[in-house]
Amino acid sequence: MMTAEEQAMEAAERDPASRFLEGLVSRIGGQAKAQAVFGDPVERDGVTVIPVARIRWGVGGGLGVGTEGSGSGGGAGVTAEPVGYIEITTMGATFRPLPRSVGPAQFIGAAVAAALVIGALGRFRR
């Protein structure tokens, strides 16, 4: 006799949306390796530099069964952001972070978020 968890797993294996998301996760997750975070080393004048990035990925999905028996879903995203480099010399290895600059988009985004929070707090106090 199967447990409820085993029954749910078996049902998910038959479900096309679950198979789709499983395939999506395995494809994207397969790319999330050290090579995605650490770039190819560059050597010049006895100094080796290895670029370092922050990689983020996510997967979403959905399923719908209504009176018409339809549904849909899916989605994925990946971002890569350089964060620094590893410098290797005869003296050893050192991680050198890149300075994070705040551009206009980040400033405007922070201002909008702050305005929304202040507005929500104002409504909450009333």
Domain range list for the chain = 4-101
Tens digit of each residue's pLDDT (9 = 90 or more) over 40-79: 888 998 999 998 888 877 777 776 776 776 777 777 777 7
The model's pTM? 0.49
Give the separation between CA 39 and CA 95, rounded to whole angstroms.
14
Q: Where are the alpha helices (DSSP H) in 2-126?
A: 4-14, 16-31, 34-37, 104-125
Average pLDDT over every residue of 94-100: 88
